[in-house]
C-alpha cells in the first residue's frame, strides 16, 4: 500500500508521525511519502517538502504569501502524480489540504482526513467545500462528531493524539540538573509558539513579563528549525533559560505557563500546568478572524471544557500588566489554582478513549480493505 501524507505545521507533523508508526505496525511493507517534518521522517516518511517552508500564521499573512502557497500546492500535486499513491492522508492545515483533497478526488485517489480543519470556529459552511472530496473523516475533539452531523457527514471520533503523546512521554529526572536550574525559585513556562510570526508577535510580551518578575525562573520553549535570533530578547535575560525541543519536560518542571493559543494550550492542560493563554497577531488578521469567529473561546482547553477554565488574553489584553497580574494569581491563590486543575482532570477524563493513532490506523486499514 502506498500512502501520501500531508501535515503543514509542527503539531500535525507530531501526530502524523505517530499515525505512520501505527500504520506500519499493522502494515510493515507500507510505503509512505509526503509533506511534513522530523517526526514523520523519523517514523519512515520520505519527505518531499518540510513544513517549515510553508508555515504561515494569520489570515493577512496567508493572503500576502498566496503566491508561495500556490507554488507549493502545484509542487504537491505534481509529486502525487509521480508517486501514484493508493490513498492520500490529510492532517489539519485546512486551506492547503482542501486543494489537495479536490485534486485527489479528481484523480480517483482515496482521500482520508485526520484531524479535521476547525470549521466549527468560523465560516462553518466551508464544510460543504470539503465534504464532496473526502472519503473518510477522523476527528479528535468530542464535539466535532455532532458538528459534522449538522452537515450530514458521519465522522469517526478516534480520541485525541495529544493525550497519546503525553502518555508516551518519559519524564527526564535529570532535567533541572542538566539545565542548571535553581532549586529555590519557581519555574514559569513560556511557550511562544513554533512559527516565526507567532514568535515575533508574542516574544516582546514575554520579555516584559520576565523583566517584571526577577524572582521567577522562566523556561522558554524553543524549536530548532527557527532562526535562534528570534529568541534573542528572551535569551539575553538572566532569569530566562531557552530549552530546545523538550517542551513536555519543561512543562513538568514548571508551576505555571504563559502559552500562545494553539495545540500547546491542550498539551499544557493535559500535563496539569495552570496557564494563561495569550494571542497577538497583525491588526488586519485579528479583525478578519474576529468578524468570522463562531465560538466563544480561542483555546482548545476552554473549548473542550465548554467554559473559561483558563484566562485568555487576546490582542490589547495580552499586555504585561494583565498577564503579570494573572500569573501572580495562579501562583499565590491556591483555591483558584485548584479550580484550574480540576477542570484539567475533567478534560483528561473526557478525552481518554484509547490511542488515537492506533484507533485511526485500524479504521483506515478497515476502510481500505472494505473498498
Confidence of residue 62 (pLDDT cuts 50, 70, 90): low
**Do 138 and 195 belong together in one domain?**
no
**Length of the chain counted residue by residue:** 371
Cα–Cα separations (whole angstroms), residue 127 to 92, 132, 133: 13, 9, 11
Q: What are phi and psi of 330, to 5 degrees?
A: -60, -40
What pLDDT shows up at residue 226?
87
In the chain, what percentage of residues exceed pLDDT 70? 96
**Do 186 and 335 belong together in one domain?**
yes
**Do 80 and 107 belong together in one domain?**
yes
Q: Which CATH number do you get for residue 261? A: 3.40.50.2000
**Do 366 and 346 belong together in one domain?**
no
What pLDDT shows up at residue 55?
61
Domain count, the chain: 2
The residue segments making up the domain with residue 120 are 2-159+354-370
Is the pLDDT assigned to residue 58 strictly greater than 70?
no
How far is residue 351's CA from residue 311's CA, in Å, rounded to a whole number?
A: 21
In a domain, 166, yes or no: no
**Do 145 and 191 belong together in one domain?**
no
**Do 134 and 269 belong together in one domain?**
no
Residues in a beta bridge with 190:
220, 258
In a domain, 273, yes or no: yes
**Do 37 and 82 belong together in one domain?**
yes
In a domain, 168, yes or no: no
In a domain, 301, yes or no: yes
pTM for the predicted model, two decimal places: 0.81
In a domain, 169, yes or no: no
Give the DSSP per-residue string, 145-201.
HHHHHTTT---EE---HHHHHHHH----TTHHHHTT--SSS-EEEEE--SSHHHHHH
**Do 330 and 205 belong together in one domain?**
yes
In a domain, 224, yes or no: yes
C-alpha cell at 125: 459552511
Residue pLDDT, tens place only, 268-287: 999 999 999 999 988 877 77
Residue pLDDT, tens place only, 213-257: 999 999 999 998 889 999 999 999 999 999 999 999 999 999 999
Confidence of residue 157 (pLDDT cuts 50, 70, 90): very high
**Do 150 and 96 belong together in one domain?**
yes
**Do 133 and 208 belong together in one domain?**
no
**Do 18 and 106 belong together in one domain?**
yes
In a domain, 245, yes or no: yes
In a domain, 164, yes or no: no
What pLDDT shows up at residue 284?
79
What pLDDT shows up at residue 233?
92
Amino acid at each position: 500500500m502506498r500512502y501520501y501524507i500531508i501535515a503543514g505545521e509542527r503539531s500535525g507533523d507530531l501526530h502524523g508521525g505517530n499515525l505512520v508508526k501505527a500504520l506500519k505496525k499493522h502494515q510493515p511493507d507500507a510505503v509512505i511519502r509526503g509533506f511534513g517534518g522530523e517526526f514523520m521522517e523519523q517514523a519512515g516518511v520520505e519527505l518531499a517538502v518540510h513544513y517549515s517552508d510553508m508555515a504561515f500564521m494569520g489570515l493577512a499573512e496567508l493572503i500576502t504569501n498566496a503566491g508561495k502557497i500556490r507554488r507549493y500546492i502545484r509542487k504537491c500535486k505534481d509529486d502525487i502524480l509521480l508517486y501514484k499513491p493508493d490513498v492520500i492522508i490529510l492532517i489539519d492545515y485546512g486551506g492547503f489540504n482542501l486543494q489537495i483533497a479536490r485534486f485527489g478526488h479528481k484523480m480517483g485517489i482515496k482521500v482520508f482526513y485526520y484531524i479535521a480543519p476547525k470549521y466549527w470556529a468560523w465560516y462553518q459552511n466551508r464544510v460543504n467545500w470539503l465534504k464532496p472530496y473526502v472519503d473518510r473523516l477522523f476527528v479528535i475533539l468530542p464535539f466535532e462528531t455532532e458538528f459534522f452531523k449538522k452537515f450530514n457527514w458521519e465522522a469517526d471520533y478516534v480520541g485525541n493524539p495529544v493525550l497519546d503523546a503525553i502518555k508516551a512521554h518519559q519524564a527526564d529526572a535529570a532535567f533541572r540538573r542538566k539545565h542548571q536550574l535553581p532549586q529555590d525559585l519557581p519555574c514559569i513556562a513560556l511557550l511562544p509558539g513554533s512559527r516565526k510570526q507567532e514568535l515575533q508577535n508574542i516574544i516582546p510580551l514575554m520579555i516584559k513579563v520576565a523583566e517584571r518578575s526577577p524572582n521567577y525562573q522562566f523556561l522558554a520553549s524553543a524549536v530548532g528549525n527557527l532562526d535562534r535570533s528570534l529568541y534573542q530578547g528572551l535569551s539575553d535575560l538572566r532569569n530566562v533559560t531557552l530549552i530546545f525541543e523538550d517542551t513536555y519536560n519543561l512543562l513538568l518542571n514548571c508551576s505555571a505557563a504563559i502559552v500562545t493559543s494553539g495545540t500547546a494550550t491542550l498539551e499544557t492542560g493535559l500535563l496539569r500546568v495552570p496557564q494563561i493563554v495569550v494571542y497577538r497577531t497583525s491588526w488586519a488578521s485579528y479583525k478578519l478572524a474576529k468578524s468570522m469567529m463562531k465560538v466563544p473561546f480561542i483555546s482548545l482547553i476552554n473549548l473542550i471544557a465548554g467554559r473559561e477554565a483558563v484566562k485568555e488574553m487576546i490582542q490589547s489584553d495580552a499586555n504585561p500588566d494583565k498577564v503579570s497580574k494573572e500569573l501572580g494569581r495562579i501562583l499565590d491563590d491556591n483555591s483558584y489554582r485548584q479550580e484550574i486543575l480540576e477542570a484539567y482532570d475533567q478534560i483528561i477524563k473526557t478525552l481518554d478513549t484509547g490511542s488515537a493513532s492506533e484507533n485511526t490506523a485500524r479504521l483506515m486499514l478497515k476502510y481500505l480493505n472494505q473498498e
